[in-house]
Amino acid sequence: MYWEKEIETISPEELKTLQQERLKLTLQRAAQTPFYRKLFAQAKIKPELIKTKEDLQFIPPTTKEDLRSGFPFGFLSVPLTEVVRLHSSSGTTGTPTVIYHTASDLARWSNQVARSLFTVGVRKNDIFQNMMSYGLFTGGLGMHYGAERLGAMTIPIGAGNSKRQIWFLKHFKSTVIHIIPSYALLLSNLIKSEGLDPKTDFNVNIILLGAEPHSEGTRKRVEQAFGAKAYNSYGLSEMNGPGVAFECGYQTGMHLWEDYYLVEIVNPKILTPCQPGELGEIILTTINREATPILRYRTKDLAFYYQEPCPCGRTHLRISRIQGRADDMFIFRGVNIFPNQIETVLMNIPEVGANYRIILSREDYRDIMRIEVEIKPELFAGELPKLERLRERITNELRAEILVTPQVVLVEPGTLPTQEGKAIRLIDKRKL
Amino acid sequence: MAYQISVFAENKPGRIEKITGILAQNQINLRAITISSANGFGVIKLLVDQPQKAYELLHSHDIPAYLQEVIAVIMEDQPGGLHKIAKILSQNQINIEDAYGFVVKTGERSVLIIQVESQPHAQSILERSGLRVLNDEEIYQY
């Protein structure tokens, strides 16, 4: 029933004690890092006086910009020789964010993911086909190590290459898949187009959906397509990656593992705590990690929490699906993208004019990114082939930055609609 | 040497209307027009009687326009007229990048507009072959 019964069903009092012990340790580790040492000094914080979750409010939150400014070692609390792995955000123009892990960090993270997988019914005899990309992205490796920790046979196939995915599903009779929701729907269609039935010709009975916010409706469609249960999960690389929060068999909210994180859900403007059911930004403090302690990290993800205890018996806080973002980041085919990354690329190309527009849509379960780019009248060179080359150059430079290929369309200057003089940069027509 | 204007335009209704409207209001006469398009956008090439003025007008309306030298050569309006010119160019290894033509007097004369990589070189070859190359004013005199 449980992977770690004692910790998963811990009483509120015991949890509080455990969290306070781990917070104390975390603050000691944080004080070893250049970033927090400076922050504590500037804000006149004595970390030893921060004892409870409520005391956390005296510490200013940490933002993604802070993590960038701390590149490369600002958040490292152990000697580099103790580090066995790093994960990093994508992006070539901006400074990346880097998270370091010691061997015991990885062991704890693997346990966290194993616990999450166990919660939705994955067992040692399962065959796990991991369709997330491996590498710096935490989705692939994070889930991989968790599944191995659990003892399931793990197929590190990675993302994409649908024909090969289908071949493995068929020949190894994979029972569990980890997949981006939009790709799950696409894959089920591809399976059908090969004359196979995803429900009866395969053995998939658990689908782990991740890396992309999605709605209950999308989950239902994935479940119907494969005739399997699909479970939502939540994670972000700054907080390890997958396994921060996971649904249980009841599929009503995700349990956020409170022995790993202190959770706050706050009004994103004034940072005051939200009531149950009230949408707010998730703020997380790592309390079970040594190499890279992060205090009060502003995830910018919006969700609410449930007050009622979960029938599954787990006492860890249940949060809703991610309902949106407190900033303008969007997720495209599982890749986190900020409009600013696109803007930086475009504005470094001399032929590009003042305005551009990003339009996201979905056709046949495939996400499409169209970028309309105004060209500069004075740099127009008169010939169609030159325009085609410009369009290709813009496409290639964008792909190098955002790792996905957009459809670039050149438009006349002054034709993109603006609102009160301010350009509308992002239009997301996708239905979650 | 003659001039044409290239205009960048999205492939959607109303673009040619807008451009020709500006030219009409300013008493600019059109001799020829060609359109090529790909991937939702295209280039409109215009041969007009006052290229410099047309270019400035379009620019003042924020329309990306480009003033470009082209070769305008007189061509006989009869079978083999174009072939004769093409043959001279090919014998001299000159590649035609773009071309269009229009009839000035049916059965007698038409004008061929060509764009090649090295315009002065091509022009002198055509002239040495006995062909008549026109400048802006001359296009409209014929």
**Domains located in chain A, CATH noted:** 5-327 (3.40.50.12780), 335-428 (3.30.300.30)
DSSP A132: S
Highest mean pLDDT: which range of A150-154, A190-194, B17-21, B47-51: A150-154
For residues B46-62, average pLDDT:
92
Residues contacting A246, CB < 8 A, separation 6+: A116, A117, A119, A120, A231, A233, A234, A254, A255, A257
Helix axes A384-402, A339-347, angle to 10 degrees: 140
Looking at the predicted structure, is the pLDDT value of residue A316 above 90?
A: yes
pLDDT at B141: 72
pLDDT at B82: 92
pLDDT in tens, A250-288: 999 999 999 999 999 999 999 999 999 999 999 999 999
Looking at the predicted structure, is the pLDDT value of residue A308 above 90?
A: yes
User: Nearest by CB to A380, which of B40, B64, B97?
Assistant: B64
User: Nearest by CB to B8, which of A380, A388, A409?
Assistant: A380
Which residues of B sit within 8 Å Cβ distance of A? 6, 8-10, 36-43, 59, 62-66, 68, 97-98
Rounded to whole angstroms, how far apart are CA atoms A178 and A137?
A: 14
Tell me which residue of A124, A129, A122, A163 sits closest to A144, measured CA to CA.
A129
Cβ contact B6–A410 (<8 Å): no
pLDDT in tens, A83-142: 999 999 765 556 789 999 999 999 999 999 999 999 999 999 999 999 999 999 999 999
Helix axes B119-128, B81-91, angle to 10 degrees: 120
pLDDT at A145: 98
pLDDT at A364: 80
Report the complex ipTM.
Answer: 0.78
pLDDT band for position A53 (50/70/90)?
A: very high
DSSP assignment string, B104-123: EETTTEEEEEEEESSHHHHH
Looking at the predicted structure, is the pLDDT value of residue A419 above 90?
A: no
**388-407 in chain A: CB under 8 A from chain B:** 388, 391
- Measured in angstroms, the CA of B107 and the nearest CA of chain A are apart by 32
Looking at the predicted structure, is the pLDDT value of residue A28 above 90?
A: yes
Taking contacts as CB-CB distances below 8 angstroms, the residues of chain B near A410 are 8, 10, 39-41
Cβ contact A409–B9 (<8 Å): no
Average pLDDT of chain A, as a whole number: 93
Backbone CA torsion sign across A357, A235, A292, A400: negative
A-chain residue closest to B36, CA distance: A384
Taking contacts as CB-CB distances below 8 angstroms, the residues of chain B near A391 are 39
pLDDT at B106: 83
Looking at the predicted structure, is the pLDDT value of residue A429 above 60?
A: yes
pLDDT band for position A424 (50/70/90)?
A: low
Looking at the predicted structure, is the pLDDT value of residue A2 above 60?
A: yes
Buried (b) or exposed (e) across B91-106, using 16+ Cβ within 10 A? eeebebebbbbeebee
Taking contacts as CB-CB distances below 8 angstroms, the residues of chain A near B40 are 409-410
Cβ A215 vs Cβ A208: under 8 Å = no
Greatest distance between any 2 Cα atoms in chain A: 74
Looking at the predicted structure, is the pLDDT value of residue A422 above 60?
A: no
pLDDT at A344: 84
pLDDT in tens, B98-128: 999 998 888 888 999 999 988 899 999 999 9
Q: How many CB atoms lie within 10 A of CB A132?
A: 28
pLDDT in tens, A345-372: 898 898 998 788 999 999 888 889 999 9
For residues A45-63, average pLDDT:
94
**How many angstroms separate the first and last alpha carbons of chain A?**
32
For residues A176-193, average pLDDT:
92
Taking contacts as CB-CB distances below 8 angstroms, the residues of chain A near B98 are 383
pLDDT at B1: 77
pLDDT band for position A309 (50/70/90)?
A: very high
Residue type, A194: E
| Mutation site, A374, A383, A392, interface B, largest B CB count within 10 A | A383
Task: Please indicate whether residue A387 or residue A291 has the higher confidence score (pLDDT).
Answer: A291
Cβ contact A383–B6 (<8 Å): yes
Which residue reads 């315009």 in tokens?
Answer: B119
Task: Please indicate whether residue A339 or residue A117 has the higher confidence score (pLDDT).
Answer: A117
DSSP B95: P
Q: How many CA atoms lie within 13 A of B52 on its CB side?
A: 2
How far, CA to CA in Å, does B37 sit from each of A258, A349, A378, A411, B110? 59, 23, 20, 13, 26
User: Nearest by CB to B62, which of A391, A410, A413?
Assistant: A413
The three-point CA angle B66-B67-B71 to 5° equals 130
Tell me which residue of A248, A258, A249, A310 sits closest to A282, measured CA to CA.
A258
Helix axes A162-172, A181-193, angle to 10 degrees: 80
Cβ contact A387–B41 (<8 Å): yes
- Measured in angstroms, the CA of B42 and the nearest CA of chain A are apart by 6
Task: Please indicate whether residue B33 or residue A92 has the higher confidence score (pLDDT).
Answer: B33
Q: How many CA atoms lie within 13 A of A329 on its CB side?
A: 18
User: Nearest by CB to B68, which of A382, A384, A410?
Assistant: A382
pLDDT at A405: 94
Beta partners for residue A283, in sequence order: A264, A298
User: Nearest by CB to A413, which of B36, B38, B64?
Assistant: B64
Taking contacts as CB-CB distances below 8 angstroms, the residues of chain B near A380 are 6, 8, 64-66
Residues above pLDDT 70, as percent of chain A:
97
DSSP assignment string, A75-109: T--S-GGGEEEEEE---SSSPPPEEEEEHHHHHHH
Cβ contact A409–B39 (<8 Å): yes
pLDDT at A288: 98
- Measured in angstroms, the CA of A411 and the nearest CA of chain B are apart by 6
Residue A198: what are its φ and ψ, rounded to 5°? -60, -25
Looking at the predicted structure, is the pLDDT value of residue A421 above 80?
A: no
For residues A381-403, average pLDDT:
91
Tokens of B103: 């009839």
How far, CA to CA in Å, does A163 sit from each of A167, A191, A197, A200? 6, 9, 15, 18
Q: Does A73 touch chain B (CB under 8 A)?
A: no
Task: Please indicate whether residue A240 or residue A210 has the higher confidence score (pLDDT).
Answer: A240
What domains can be seen in chain B, in order of their start residue? 2-69 (3.30.2130.10), 70-141 (3.30.70.260)
Q: Does A382 touch chain B (CB under 8 A)?
A: yes
Cβ contact A412–B65 (<8 Å): no
Cβ contact A391–B68 (<8 Å): no
Outline where DSSP puts E strands in A176-288: 176-179, 206-209, 229-234, 245-247, 254-256, 261-266, 280-286
For residues A174-193, average pLDDT:
93
